[in-house]
Amino acid sequence: MHSFPMVFFDTFLLFLSLILIIKRYSNASTTKNSPPSPPTLPLIGNLHQLGLLPHRTLHSLAQKYGPLMLLHFGKVPALVVSSAEAAREVMKTHDLVVSDRPQSKVWKILFYDTKDMASASYGKSWRNLRSLSVCHLFSSKKVNLSELLGLLSNDVICRVALGRRYRGVEGKGFERVLLEFDELVGTVSIGDYMPWLDWLSKVNGLYGRAKRVAKYLDQFLDEVIDEHISGGSRNSKDGLEAERDFVDVLLSLEKTDTEGFPVDRNVIKGLIVDMFVAGTETTHATMEWAMTELLKHPIVMHKLQNEVRSVVGNKTHVTEDDLGQMKYLKAVIKETFRHHPSVPVIPRKSSEDIKVNGYDIAAGTQVLVNVWAIGRDPSSWYQPLEFNPERFLNNSIDFKGHDFELIPFGAGRRGCPGMLFAIATIEMVIANLVHQFDWALPCGEDLNMSENPGMAILRKFPLMAVATLHDRN
Protein backbone atom coordinates (compact mmCIF):
# COMPACT_ATOMS: atom_id res chain seq x y z
CA MET A 1 0.00 0.00 0.00
CA HIS A 2 1.32 3.45 -0.93
CA SER A 3 1.83 5.93 1.86
CA PHE A 4 -0.14 9.16 1.81
CA PRO A 5 2.95 11.30 0.98
CA MET A 6 3.74 9.06 -2.01
CA VAL A 7 0.16 9.24 -3.33
CA PHE A 8 0.19 12.99 -2.83
CA PHE A 9 3.52 13.26 -4.68
CA ASP A 10 2.24 11.14 -7.60
CA THR A 11 -0.91 13.27 -7.82
CA PHE A 12 1.18 16.43 -7.76
CA LEU A 13 3.39 15.15 -10.61
CA LEU A 14 0.32 14.19 -12.66
CA PHE A 15 -1.21 17.61 -12.08
CA LEU A 16 2.05 19.36 -12.99
CA SER A 17 2.38 17.28 -16.17
CA LEU A 18 -1.16 18.18 -17.18
CA ILE A 19 -0.47 21.88 -16.62
CA LEU A 20 2.68 21.68 -18.76
CA ILE A 21 0.81 19.86 -21.56
CA ILE A 22 -1.99 22.44 -21.50
CA LYS A 23 0.53 25.28 -21.53
CA ARG A 24 2.39 23.71 -24.44
CA TYR A 25 -0.74 23.28 -26.55
CA SER A 26 -2.22 26.63 -25.59
CA ASN A 27 0.92 28.56 -26.51
CA ALA A 28 1.97 26.55 -29.57
CA SER A 29 3.25 28.90 -32.28
CA THR A 30 1.81 31.89 -30.42
CA THR A 31 4.00 35.00 -30.50
CA LYS A 32 4.07 37.97 -28.16
CA ASN A 33 2.51 40.24 -30.78
CA SER A 34 -0.34 38.00 -31.92
CA PRO A 35 -3.75 39.04 -33.27
CA PRO A 36 -6.70 39.03 -30.84
CA SER A 37 -7.88 35.57 -29.79
CA PRO A 38 -11.02 34.25 -28.10
CA PRO A 39 -10.47 32.17 -24.95
CA THR A 40 -9.36 28.59 -25.54
CA LEU A 41 -10.19 25.33 -23.81
CA PRO A 42 -7.40 23.05 -22.59
CA LEU A 43 -5.97 20.80 -25.32
CA ILE A 44 -8.70 21.43 -27.94
CA GLY A 45 -8.22 25.20 -28.15
CA ASN A 46 -11.06 26.69 -30.22
CA LEU A 47 -12.10 23.53 -32.09
CA HIS A 48 -15.41 23.46 -30.23
CA GLN A 49 -16.34 26.82 -31.78
CA LEU A 50 -16.18 25.76 -35.43
CA GLY A 51 -19.62 24.14 -35.71
CA LEU A 52 -21.08 22.58 -38.85
CA LEU A 53 -21.01 25.88 -40.77
CA PRO A 54 -17.61 27.41 -39.90
CA HIS A 55 -18.06 30.46 -42.14
CA ARG A 56 -20.94 31.60 -39.94
CA THR A 57 -19.35 30.89 -36.56
CA LEU A 58 -16.05 32.46 -37.64
CA HIS A 59 -17.97 35.52 -38.83
CA SER A 60 -19.65 35.86 -35.43
CA LEU A 61 -16.29 35.60 -33.65
CA ALA A 62 -14.73 38.15 -36.01
CA GLN A 63 -17.44 40.67 -35.17
CA LYS A 64 -16.15 40.56 -31.59
CA TYR A 65 -12.40 40.03 -32.09
CA GLY A 66 -11.77 41.81 -35.39
CA PRO A 67 -10.94 41.07 -39.04
CA LEU A 68 -7.64 39.40 -38.09
CA MET A 69 -8.14 36.81 -35.39
CA LEU A 70 -5.91 34.00 -34.15
CA LEU A 71 -7.55 30.72 -33.16
CA HIS A 72 -6.01 27.46 -31.98
CA PHE A 73 -7.25 24.12 -33.29
CA GLY A 74 -5.56 21.75 -30.89
CA LYS A 75 -1.88 22.56 -31.29
CA VAL A 76 -2.33 24.23 -34.72
CA PRO A 77 -2.63 28.05 -34.85
CA ALA A 78 -5.10 29.43 -37.40
CA LEU A 79 -5.31 33.02 -38.63
CA VAL A 80 -8.87 33.95 -39.63
CA VAL A 81 -9.15 36.74 -42.23
CA SER A 82 -12.53 38.49 -42.42
CA SER A 83 -12.08 41.80 -44.28
CA ALA A 84 -11.02 42.89 -47.75
CA GLU A 85 -8.09 44.90 -46.37
CA ALA A 86 -6.76 41.95 -44.38
CA ALA A 87 -7.30 39.59 -47.34
CA ARG A 88 -5.30 41.93 -49.59
CA GLU A 89 -2.44 41.92 -47.08
CA VAL A 90 -2.44 38.12 -46.86
CA MET A 91 -3.21 37.11 -50.46
CA LYS A 92 -1.31 39.85 -52.29
CA THR A 93 1.50 41.19 -50.09
CA HIS A 94 2.32 37.73 -48.71
CA ASP A 95 0.94 35.66 -51.58
CA LEU A 96 4.06 33.53 -52.07
CA VAL A 97 4.47 32.73 -48.37
CA VAL A 98 0.80 31.76 -47.86
CA SER A 99 0.42 29.79 -51.10
CA ASP A 100 0.85 26.52 -49.23
CA ARG A 101 -2.14 24.33 -48.39
CA PRO A 102 -2.82 22.75 -44.97
CA GLN A 103 -2.81 18.95 -45.13
CA SER A 104 -5.53 16.59 -43.97
CA LYS A 105 -5.63 12.80 -43.67
CA VAL A 106 -9.07 12.76 -45.29
CA TRP A 107 -7.71 14.80 -48.20
CA LYS A 108 -4.81 12.38 -48.61
CA ILE A 109 -7.29 9.50 -48.87
CA LEU A 110 -9.52 11.30 -51.38
CA PHE A 111 -6.92 13.12 -53.49
CA TYR A 112 -4.42 10.33 -54.21
CA ASP A 113 -2.04 11.39 -51.46
CA THR A 114 -2.41 15.04 -52.65
CA LYS A 115 -1.11 14.32 -56.15
CA ASP A 116 -3.78 16.67 -57.47
CA MET A 117 -3.60 20.45 -57.88
CA ALA A 118 -6.20 21.63 -55.34
CA SER A 119 -4.74 19.98 -52.24
CA ALA A 120 -1.04 19.75 -53.17
CA SER A 121 1.55 21.70 -51.21
CA TYR A 122 2.97 24.72 -53.01
CA GLY A 123 6.12 23.93 -54.96
CA LYS A 124 7.48 22.67 -58.26
CA SER A 125 5.03 19.76 -58.57
CA TRP A 126 2.05 22.04 -57.89
CA ARG A 127 3.26 24.55 -60.51
CA ASN A 128 3.52 21.76 -63.08
CA LEU A 129 0.03 20.50 -62.24
CA ARG A 130 -1.43 23.99 -62.58
CA SER A 131 0.36 24.50 -65.88
CA LEU A 132 -1.13 21.25 -67.22
CA SER A 133 -4.64 22.35 -66.22
CA VAL A 134 -4.34 25.89 -67.55
CA CYS A 135 -2.76 24.88 -70.86
CA HIS A 136 -4.85 21.80 -71.65
CA LEU A 137 -8.18 22.24 -69.89
CA PHE A 138 -8.93 25.89 -69.12
CA SER A 139 -7.35 27.37 -72.23
CA SER A 140 -9.21 29.70 -74.57
CA LYS A 141 -10.37 26.76 -76.71
CA LYS A 142 -13.93 27.47 -77.78
CA VAL A 143 -16.61 25.28 -76.18
CA ASN A 144 -20.11 25.21 -77.63
CA LEU A 145 -21.96 25.91 -74.39
CA SER A 146 -25.20 26.50 -76.28
CA GLU A 147 -25.22 22.84 -77.24
CA LEU A 148 -24.76 21.92 -73.58
CA LEU A 149 -27.91 23.75 -72.45
CA GLY A 150 -29.96 21.73 -70.01
CA LEU A 151 -27.11 19.48 -68.88
CA LEU A 152 -26.30 19.42 -65.20
CA SER A 153 -22.99 20.93 -64.15
CA ASN A 154 -21.39 17.51 -63.62
CA ASP A 155 -22.57 16.48 -67.10
CA VAL A 156 -20.80 19.54 -68.55
CA ILE A 157 -17.60 18.59 -66.75
CA CYS A 158 -17.95 14.95 -67.88
CA ARG A 159 -18.35 16.06 -71.49
CA VAL A 160 -15.34 18.40 -71.47
CA ALA A 161 -13.01 16.34 -69.28
CA LEU A 162 -13.95 12.74 -70.01
CA GLY A 163 -15.70 12.80 -73.37
CA ARG A 164 -18.86 11.10 -72.09
CA ARG A 165 -22.16 11.83 -70.36
CA TYR A 166 -23.66 10.39 -67.20
CA ARG A 167 -27.42 10.19 -66.90
CA GLY A 168 -30.12 7.95 -65.48
CA VAL A 169 -29.20 5.59 -62.64
CA GLU A 170 -25.47 5.92 -63.37
CA GLY A 171 -25.67 9.72 -63.25
CA LYS A 172 -27.68 9.81 -60.01
CA GLY A 173 -25.28 7.43 -58.30
CA PHE A 174 -22.33 9.50 -59.45
CA GLU A 175 -23.94 12.70 -58.16
CA ARG A 176 -24.56 11.12 -54.73
CA VAL A 177 -20.90 10.13 -54.48
CA LEU A 178 -19.80 13.65 -55.44
CA LEU A 179 -22.04 15.12 -52.74
CA GLU A 180 -20.56 12.78 -50.14
CA PHE A 181 -17.07 13.61 -51.40
CA ASP A 182 -17.82 17.32 -50.94
CA GLU A 183 -19.08 16.74 -47.38
CA LEU A 184 -15.96 14.73 -46.51
CA VAL A 185 -13.59 17.39 -47.85
CA GLY A 186 -15.35 19.95 -45.64
CA THR A 187 -15.28 17.73 -42.53
CA VAL A 188 -12.84 18.48 -39.72
CA SER A 189 -10.73 15.46 -38.77
CA ILE A 190 -9.72 15.92 -35.15
CA GLY A 191 -6.55 13.89 -35.71
CA ASP A 192 -5.20 16.65 -37.98
CA TYR A 193 -5.06 18.96 -34.97
CA MET A 194 -4.63 16.53 -32.08
CA PRO A 195 -2.77 13.45 -33.35
CA TRP A 196 -3.30 11.60 -30.07
CA LEU A 197 -7.06 11.63 -30.81
CA ASP A 198 -6.71 10.34 -34.38
CA TRP A 199 -8.35 7.08 -33.31
CA LEU A 200 -11.67 8.93 -32.97
CA SER A 201 -11.82 9.44 -36.75
CA LYS A 202 -11.46 5.68 -37.14
CA VAL A 203 -14.09 4.86 -34.52
CA ASN A 204 -16.67 7.37 -35.85
CA GLY A 205 -16.27 6.03 -39.39
CA LEU A 206 -14.83 9.17 -41.00
CA TYR A 207 -11.79 7.44 -42.49
CA GLY A 208 -13.95 4.47 -43.47
CA ARG A 209 -16.35 6.71 -45.40
CA ALA A 210 -13.45 8.48 -47.09
CA LYS A 211 -11.87 5.16 -48.14
CA ARG A 212 -15.21 3.87 -49.48
CA VAL A 213 -15.79 7.01 -51.57
CA ALA A 214 -12.17 7.01 -52.75
CA LYS A 215 -12.47 3.36 -53.81
CA TYR A 216 -15.67 4.06 -55.77
CA LEU A 217 -14.10 7.01 -57.59
CA ASP A 218 -10.86 5.10 -58.18
CA GLN A 219 -12.73 2.26 -59.88
CA PHE A 220 -14.75 4.75 -61.92
CA LEU A 221 -11.62 6.62 -63.03
CA ASP A 222 -9.83 3.38 -63.93
CA GLU A 223 -12.79 2.53 -66.15
CA VAL A 224 -12.68 5.98 -67.79
CA ILE A 225 -8.92 5.84 -68.39
CA ASP A 226 -9.02 2.26 -69.72
CA GLU A 227 -11.87 3.26 -72.03
CA HIS A 228 -9.78 6.11 -73.42
CA ILE A 229 -6.74 3.87 -73.87
CA SER A 230 -8.79 1.27 -75.77
CA GLY A 231 -10.47 3.96 -77.86
CA GLY A 232 -13.93 3.23 -76.44
CA SER A 233 -14.63 6.88 -75.77
CA ARG A 234 -14.36 7.48 -79.51
CA ASN A 235 -17.47 5.41 -80.19
CA SER A 236 -20.28 7.88 -80.51
CA LYS A 237 -22.79 5.95 -78.43
CA ASP A 238 -24.72 9.05 -77.46
CA GLY A 239 -24.34 10.91 -80.73
CA LEU A 240 -21.48 13.10 -79.54
CA GLU A 241 -18.76 13.96 -82.00
CA ALA A 242 -15.50 12.34 -80.88
CA GLU A 243 -13.22 15.10 -79.67
CA ARG A 244 -9.90 15.14 -77.85
CA ASP A 245 -10.70 15.71 -74.17
CA PHE A 246 -8.68 16.35 -71.01
CA VAL A 247 -8.05 12.65 -70.33
CA ASP A 248 -6.70 12.18 -73.86
CA VAL A 249 -4.27 15.06 -73.31
CA LEU A 250 -3.10 13.68 -69.96
CA LEU A 251 -2.65 10.19 -71.38
CA SER A 252 -0.49 11.60 -74.16
CA LEU A 253 1.74 13.10 -71.45
CA GLU A 254 1.79 9.97 -69.26
CA LYS A 255 5.24 8.67 -68.38
CA THR A 256 6.89 11.71 -69.92
CA ASP A 257 9.23 13.52 -67.58
CA THR A 258 9.14 17.29 -67.94
CA GLU A 259 11.71 18.90 -65.65
CA GLY A 260 11.50 15.96 -63.27
CA PHE A 261 7.69 15.82 -63.21
CA PRO A 262 6.24 12.47 -64.37
CA VAL A 263 2.54 12.37 -65.25
CA ASP A 264 1.56 8.96 -63.89
CA ARG A 265 -1.87 7.35 -63.55
CA ASN A 266 -2.47 8.76 -60.06
CA VAL A 267 -1.63 12.29 -61.21
CA ILE A 268 -4.19 11.87 -64.01
CA LYS A 269 -6.80 10.64 -61.53
CA GLY A 270 -6.04 13.44 -59.09
CA LEU A 271 -6.52 16.12 -61.73
CA ILE A 272 -9.81 14.57 -62.87
CA VAL A 273 -11.02 14.53 -59.25
CA ASP A 274 -10.14 18.24 -59.03
CA MET A 275 -12.31 18.86 -62.06
CA PHE A 276 -15.35 17.33 -60.39
CA VAL A 277 -14.82 18.70 -56.88
CA ALA A 278 -13.76 22.21 -57.90
CA GLY A 279 -15.89 22.31 -61.04
CA THR A 280 -19.10 20.41 -60.43
CA GLU A 281 -20.22 21.16 -56.89
CA THR A 282 -19.08 24.79 -56.85
CA THR A 283 -20.80 25.57 -60.16
CA HIS A 284 -23.86 23.65 -59.04
CA ALA A 285 -23.96 25.65 -55.78
CA THR A 286 -23.74 29.01 -57.54
CA MET A 287 -26.52 28.20 -60.03
CA GLU A 288 -28.74 26.83 -57.27
CA TRP A 289 -28.31 29.91 -55.05
CA ALA A 290 -28.77 32.26 -58.03
CA MET A 291 -32.14 30.69 -58.85
CA THR A 292 -33.03 30.72 -55.14
CA GLU A 293 -32.42 34.47 -54.89
CA LEU A 294 -34.31 35.12 -58.13
CA LEU A 295 -37.33 33.23 -56.79
CA LYS A 296 -37.04 35.11 -53.51
CA HIS A 297 -36.88 38.48 -55.32
CA PRO A 298 -39.46 38.48 -58.17
CA ILE A 299 -38.63 42.06 -59.18
CA VAL A 300 -35.02 41.05 -59.81
CA MET A 301 -36.26 38.00 -61.73
CA HIS A 302 -38.46 40.15 -63.99
CA LYS A 303 -35.65 42.64 -64.67
CA LEU A 304 -33.34 39.81 -65.65
CA GLN A 305 -35.96 38.16 -67.85
CA ASN A 306 -36.66 41.45 -69.61
CA GLU A 307 -32.96 41.97 -70.34
CA VAL A 308 -32.36 38.42 -71.57
CA ARG A 309 -35.48 38.33 -73.74
CA SER A 310 -34.72 41.76 -75.18
CA VAL A 311 -31.18 40.75 -76.16
CA VAL A 312 -32.16 37.33 -77.54
CA GLY A 313 -35.09 38.65 -79.56
CA ASN A 314 -36.79 36.06 -81.76
CA LYS A 315 -34.13 33.38 -81.31
CA THR A 316 -35.09 30.20 -79.49
CA HIS A 317 -32.19 30.23 -77.03
CA VAL A 318 -29.33 32.30 -75.68
CA THR A 319 -25.98 32.11 -77.48
CA GLU A 320 -22.47 32.94 -76.33
CA ASP A 321 -22.54 36.16 -78.36
CA ASP A 322 -25.62 37.31 -76.45
CA LEU A 323 -23.96 37.04 -73.03
CA GLY A 324 -21.67 40.02 -73.57
CA GLN A 325 -24.70 42.32 -73.84
CA MET A 326 -26.33 41.14 -70.59
CA LYS A 327 -25.05 43.55 -67.93
CA TYR A 328 -27.82 42.82 -65.45
CA LEU A 329 -27.17 39.07 -65.71
CA LYS A 330 -23.53 39.67 -64.79
CA ALA A 331 -24.64 41.85 -61.87
CA VAL A 332 -26.98 39.10 -60.62
CA ILE A 333 -24.18 36.54 -60.73
CA LYS A 334 -21.75 38.87 -58.94
CA GLU A 335 -24.32 39.49 -56.22
CA THR A 336 -24.83 35.73 -55.92
CA PHE A 337 -21.07 35.28 -55.47
CA ARG A 338 -21.09 37.99 -52.79
CA HIS A 339 -24.03 36.50 -50.89
CA HIS A 340 -23.27 32.82 -51.46
CA PRO A 341 -19.62 32.13 -52.30
CA SER A 342 -19.57 28.45 -53.21
CA VAL A 343 -16.41 27.90 -51.12
CA PRO A 344 -17.00 30.24 -48.16
CA VAL A 345 -13.66 29.68 -46.40
CA ILE A 346 -10.41 29.39 -48.39
CA PRO A 347 -7.66 27.47 -46.55
CA ARG A 348 -3.99 28.37 -46.89
CA LYS A 349 -0.86 27.90 -44.77
CA SER A 350 2.09 30.15 -44.03
CA SER A 351 5.46 28.62 -44.92
CA GLU A 352 7.49 31.35 -43.16
CA ASP A 353 7.19 33.85 -40.33
CA ILE A 354 5.44 37.00 -41.60
CA LYS A 355 3.91 40.24 -40.32
CA VAL A 356 0.27 40.93 -41.20
CA ASN A 357 -1.07 44.38 -40.31
CA GLY A 358 1.62 44.65 -37.64
CA TYR A 359 0.93 41.24 -36.09
CA ASP A 360 3.50 38.45 -35.99
CA ILE A 361 2.32 35.27 -37.71
CA ALA A 362 4.45 32.16 -37.21
CA ALA A 363 5.43 29.71 -39.93
CA GLY A 364 3.05 26.76 -40.08
CA THR A 365 0.00 28.86 -39.19
CA GLN A 366 -3.15 27.94 -41.07
CA VAL A 367 -4.71 30.92 -42.84
CA LEU A 368 -8.50 30.82 -43.26
CA VAL A 369 -9.86 33.54 -45.56
CA ASN A 370 -13.57 33.88 -44.76
CA VAL A 371 -14.89 34.94 -48.17
CA TRP A 372 -18.46 34.70 -46.85
CA ALA A 373 -17.72 37.22 -44.07
CA ILE A 374 -15.93 39.61 -46.45
CA GLY A 375 -19.06 39.69 -48.61
CA ARG A 376 -21.05 40.84 -45.57
CA ASP A 377 -18.58 43.42 -44.30
CA PRO A 378 -20.43 46.76 -43.87
CA SER A 379 -17.15 48.64 -44.33
CA SER A 380 -17.06 47.34 -47.92
CA TRP A 381 -20.74 47.00 -48.81
CA TYR A 382 -23.79 49.22 -48.33
CA GLN A 383 -26.63 47.22 -46.74
CA PRO A 384 -24.62 43.99 -47.09
CA LEU A 385 -27.47 41.69 -46.08
CA GLU A 386 -29.67 42.88 -48.97
CA PHE A 387 -29.62 41.00 -52.29
CA ASN A 388 -29.26 43.92 -54.67
CA PRO A 389 -27.63 43.33 -58.09
CA GLU A 390 -27.93 47.05 -58.90
CA ARG A 391 -24.91 47.69 -56.66
CA PHE A 392 -22.73 46.23 -59.46
CA LEU A 393 -24.21 48.12 -62.43
CA ASN A 394 -22.05 51.21 -61.89
CA ASN A 395 -19.34 49.49 -59.90
CA SER A 396 -15.99 48.35 -61.26
CA ILE A 397 -15.51 45.63 -58.61
CA ASP A 398 -14.88 42.26 -60.26
CA PHE A 399 -14.29 38.70 -59.04
CA LYS A 400 -11.00 38.01 -60.84
CA GLY A 401 -8.84 38.31 -57.73
CA HIS A 402 -7.86 41.99 -57.95
CA ASP A 403 -10.72 43.40 -55.85
CA PHE A 404 -10.52 41.72 -52.47
CA GLU A 405 -14.06 42.72 -51.54
CA LEU A 406 -15.22 39.95 -53.91
CA ILE A 407 -12.97 36.87 -54.16
CA PRO A 408 -15.19 33.81 -54.73
CA PHE A 409 -12.41 32.22 -56.81
CA GLY A 410 -9.62 33.16 -54.42
CA ALA A 411 -6.67 35.34 -55.44
CA GLY A 412 -2.98 35.17 -56.17
CA ARG A 413 -1.07 32.05 -57.13
CA ARG A 414 -3.73 29.67 -55.85
CA GLY A 415 -6.65 31.45 -57.47
CA CYS A 416 -9.02 29.09 -59.31
CA PRO A 417 -7.71 28.42 -62.86
CA GLY A 418 -11.19 27.37 -64.02
CA MET A 419 -12.85 30.71 -63.22
CA LEU A 420 -13.66 31.76 -66.80
CA PHE A 421 -15.00 28.31 -67.67
CA ALA A 422 -17.24 28.34 -64.57
CA ILE A 423 -18.54 31.85 -65.31
CA ALA A 424 -19.38 30.98 -68.91
CA THR A 425 -21.30 27.88 -67.78
CA ILE A 426 -23.22 29.73 -65.05
CA GLU A 427 -24.14 32.64 -67.31
CA MET A 428 -25.32 30.37 -70.11
CA VAL A 429 -27.46 28.15 -67.90
CA ILE A 430 -29.09 30.95 -65.87
CA ALA A 431 -29.77 33.06 -68.97
CA ASN A 432 -31.45 30.18 -70.78
CA LEU A 433 -33.50 29.19 -67.74
CA VAL A 434 -35.00 32.67 -67.34
CA HIS A 435 -35.37 33.09 -71.11
CA GLN A 436 -37.29 29.89 -71.73
CA PHE A 437 -39.46 29.78 -68.59
CA ASP A 438 -41.40 31.87 -66.12
CA TRP A 439 -40.61 30.70 -62.59
CA ALA A 440 -42.56 30.71 -59.33
CA LEU A 441 -42.58 28.97 -55.98
CA PRO A 442 -45.08 26.14 -55.49
CA CYS A 443 -48.36 27.44 -54.10
CA GLY A 444 -48.17 28.07 -50.36
CA GLU A 445 -44.47 27.26 -50.04
CA ASP A 446 -41.76 29.51 -48.63
CA LEU A 447 -38.04 29.40 -49.39
CA ASN A 448 -35.93 27.71 -46.75
CA MET A 449 -32.46 29.28 -46.96
CA SER A 450 -30.68 26.70 -44.77
CA GLU A 451 -27.24 25.55 -45.90
CA ASN A 452 -25.76 22.07 -46.13
CA PRO A 453 -22.25 21.74 -44.66
CA GLY A 454 -19.41 20.79 -46.97
CA MET A 455 -16.55 22.28 -48.95
CA ALA A 456 -19.06 23.82 -51.37
CA ILE A 457 -22.12 25.18 -49.57
CA LEU A 458 -25.26 23.84 -51.23
CA ARG A 459 -28.86 24.28 -50.11
CA LYS A 460 -29.87 21.97 -47.27
CA PHE A 461 -33.21 21.26 -48.93
CA PRO A 462 -33.85 20.80 -52.68
CA LEU A 463 -34.97 23.90 -54.55
CA MET A 464 -38.49 23.26 -55.83
CA ALA A 465 -40.06 25.63 -58.35
CA VAL A 466 -42.88 25.72 -60.89
CA ALA A 467 -41.73 26.36 -64.46
CA THR A 468 -44.13 27.66 -67.11
CA LEU A 469 -42.95 27.79 -70.71
CA HIS A 470 -42.74 31.45 -71.69
CA ASP A 471 -45.14 32.49 -74.44
CA ARG A 472 -43.12 34.60 -76.89
CA ASN A 473 -46.19 35.66 -78.85
Could you tell me which of 299, 300, 337, 287 has the C-alpha nearest to residue 463? Answer: 287
Give the integer Cα–Cα distance in Å for 341 and 333: 11
Burial class (CB in 10 A: 0-12, 13-18, 19+), 40: buried
Give the integer Cα–Cα distance in Å for 404 and 84: 5
The verdict on whether residue 443 carries a ligand-binding annotation is no
Residue 261, phi then psi, degrees to nearest 5: -120, 95
Residue 348 DSSP SS3: strand
**Distance between first and last Cα of the chain:** 98
Give the integer Cα–Cα distance in Å for 40 and 92: 30
196: Cβ contacts below 8 Å, ≥ 6 apart: none
Residue 354 DSSP SS3: strand
Give the integer Cα–Cα distance in Å for 111 and 134: 19
Count Cβ atoms below 10 Å from residue 66 Cβ, excluding itself. Answer: 15
Give the integer Cα–Cα distance in Å for 225 and 219: 10
Provide the β-strand partners of residue 71.
78
Amino acid in the structure at residue 100: D
Amino acid in the structure at residue 8: F
Count Cβ atoms below 10 Å from residue 73 Cβ, excluding itself. Answer: 22
Give the integer Cα–Cα distance in Å for 49 and 21: 21
Q: Which residues line the annotated binding site? A: 416
Q: Which residues line the annotated binding site for heme? A: 416
